[in-house]
């Protein structure tokens, strides 16, 4: 393994570790451990069982990462296409968890022998349940960790033979903290045995978190479906409706790509945390300026996982001179199916996409891109 590949693997490992500490994951860690360490009433849960459940939990997480990374496969494409529906169903299941924990909902069928492999009572959890628990929660994390996982796609596209290694690097960075916590969970359990009154309150707190988290998953994904339906309806009335998507520049002014019809436009989708985007940024700017081309950076609060002020800090810190367009409703990110960063799209004079490139380019890469664009324009 050469030094360049080693550096990339270390990079995706670091991004996986940072994903664990994201606002979508870290605050819920106590909740995960409380379920993974749960046993029947009066039954002592051994440290070995807790660790094995945690191992199954992270295997559930890893399976989702693998499906998303290799999204070109039939199953991965299905998950990508129906991610909103899956998110709503997952959110609904979490709400059922919460209501059952509050005692407001009782499903008698689940107490029979043919019950589903998920115990909604929260009183115990076997290994198969722990696997599905990790699988389910992974869909709720995608707004925060999806963009960083996208960099694995970028590297995998550049070297298909090493794709599995890049995925493993990211996956290890993300799940190792869970495994470490799984090893030392018993210390926390011993504390709780001495303070059993805490369990009554933590159980209710866990139910509240489940209810809020599940409700948010339902709301966010339902809103996404509504936005997509609205976009599809508008498409029947307007040619290339994405050109009318309302964007905002760094000064708060509204902007639409339809204003640039008649020009060849370069759209570079980036984020504040993307290491490869930062490395490519000055090269992209120089490429546009030297060739007198029209181009923009496209950014989104959702992809950044931060408030909009982070974009303004990014512009100042990295001396961004090319106009930055903020896609607050993720309309262009969704239309162009952005799942790895940076991704560069080129639009012709009618606003149609000539093509795109995922991954950072160097000077030679941009020169080659420009030659290909000129050939495509001449062929039209």
Instruction: Please indicate, yes or no, whether residues 18 and 55 belong to a single structural domain of this protein.
Output: yes
* Residue 38, pLDDT score: 62
Instruction: Please indicate, yes or no, whether residues 140 and 18 belong to a single structural domain of this protein.
Output: yes
Instruction: Please indicate, yes or no, whether residues 58 and 161 belong to a single structural domain of this protein.
Output: yes
Expressed in angstroms, the distance from the first to the final Cα of the chain is 44
Tokens of 85: 């529906």
CA 322/CA 262 separation, integer angstroms: 19
Instruction: Please indicate, yes or no, whether residues 136 and 246 belong to a single structural domain of this protein.
Output: no
Which residues in the chain show pLDDT less than 70? 1-8, 11, 21-47, 68-84, 86-87, 90, 94, 97-98, 100-101, 103, 105-126, 137-163, 185-207, 209-210, 213, 217, 228-239, 380
* Residue 8, pLDDT score: 64
Instruction: Please indicate, yes or no, whether residues 202 and 274 belong to a single structural domain of this protein.
Output: no
* Residue 112, pLDDT score: 39
Q: Domain boundary residue among 203, 233, 263?
A: 233
Q: Which domain holds residue 209?
A: 3-233
* Residue 109, pLDDT score: 42
Comparing CA positions, the residue from 183, 96, 175 lying closest to residue 135 is 175
Instruction: Specify the DSSP element, H or E, that contains 345.
Output: strand 343-347
- Model-level pTM? 0.44
CA 369/CA 346 separation, integer angstroms: 10
Instruction: Please indicate, yes or no, whether residues 161 and 269 belong to a single structural domain of this protein.
Output: no
With a CB cutoff of 8 Å and minimum separation 6, the contacts of 342 are: 268, 269, 270, 274, 276, 277, 280, 358, 359, 360
Instruction: Please indicate, yes or no, whether residues 247 and 201 belong to a single structural domain of this protein.
Output: no
Q: Domain boundary residue among 181, 215, 233?
A: 233
Question: What are the start-end ranges of the H helices in 42-102?
Answer: 47-69, 74-81, 83-102
Instruction: Please indicate, yes or no, whether residues 42 and 163 belong to a single structural domain of this protein.
Output: yes
Peptide bond into 342 cis (omega under 30): yes
Instruction: Please indicate, yes or no, whether residues 225 and 247 belong to a single structural domain of this protein.
Output: no
Instruction: Please indicate, yes or no, whether residues 210 and 273 belong to a single structural domain of this protein.
Output: no
Upper half-sphere CA count for residue 324 (Cβ side, 13 Å): 24
* Residue 76, pLDDT score: 42
* Residue 136, pLDDT score: 72
In contact, 190 and 34? CB cutoff 8 Å: no
* Residue 197, pLDDT score: 56
Instruction: Please indicate, yes or no, whether residues 102 and 246 belong to a single structural domain of this protein.
Output: no
> Residue 340 maps to which CATH number?
3.40.30.10
Angle between helix 275-291 and 127-158 (nearest 10)? 30
Instruction: Please indicate, yes or no, whether residues 248 and 227 belong to a single structural domain of this protein.
Output: no
Q: Domain boundary residue among 182, 199, 233?
A: 233
Domain count, the chain: 2
């Amino acid at each position: 393994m050469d030094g360049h590949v080693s550096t990339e693997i270390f990079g995706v490992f670091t991004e996986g570790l940072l994903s664990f500490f994201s606002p979508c994951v870290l605050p819920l860690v106590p909740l995960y451990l409380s379920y993974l360490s749960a046993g029947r009433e009066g039954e002592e849960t051994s440290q070995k069982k807790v660790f094995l459940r945690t191992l199954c939990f992270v295997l559930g997480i890893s399976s989702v990462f693998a499906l998303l990374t290799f999204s070109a496969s039939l199953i991965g494409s299905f998950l990508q296409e129906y991610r909103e529906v899956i998110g709503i169903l997952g959110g609904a299941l979490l709400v059922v968890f919460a209501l059952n924990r509050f005692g407001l909902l009782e499903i008698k069928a689940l107490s029979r022998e043919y019950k589903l492999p998920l115990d909604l009572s929260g009183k115990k959890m076997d290994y198969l349940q722990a696997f599905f628990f990790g699988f389910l929660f992974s869909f709720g994390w995608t707004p925060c960790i999806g963009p960083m996982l996208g960099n694995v796609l970028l590297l995998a596209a550049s070297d298909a033979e090493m794709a599995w290694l890049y995925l493993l690097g990211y996956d290890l960075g993300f799940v190792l903290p869970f495994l470490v916590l799984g090893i030392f969970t018993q210390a926390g359990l011993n504390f709780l045995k001495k303070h059993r009154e805490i369990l009554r309150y933590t159980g209710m707190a866990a139910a509240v978190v489940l209810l809020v988290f599940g409700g948010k998953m339902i709301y966010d994904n339902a809103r996404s479906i509504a936005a997509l339906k609205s976009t599809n309806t508008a498409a029947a009335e307007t040619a290339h409706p994405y050109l009318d998507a309302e964007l905002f520049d760094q000064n708060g002014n509204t902007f639409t790509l339809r204003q640039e019809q008649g020009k060849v436009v370069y759209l570079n989708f980036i984020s504040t945390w993307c290491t490869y985007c930062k490395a490519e940024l000055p090269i992209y700017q120089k490429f546009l300026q030297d060739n007198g081309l029209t181009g923009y950076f496209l950014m989104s609060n959702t992809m950044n996982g931060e408030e909009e002020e982070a974009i303004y800090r990014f512009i100042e810190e990295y001396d961004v001179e090319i106009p930055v367009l903020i896609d607050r409703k993720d309309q262009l990110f969704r239309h162009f199916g952005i799942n790895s960063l940076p991704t560069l799209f080129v639009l012709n004079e009618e606003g149609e996409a000539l093509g795109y490139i995922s991954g950072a380019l160097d000077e030679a890469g941009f020169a080659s891109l420009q030659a290909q664009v000129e050939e495509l324009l001449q062929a039209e």
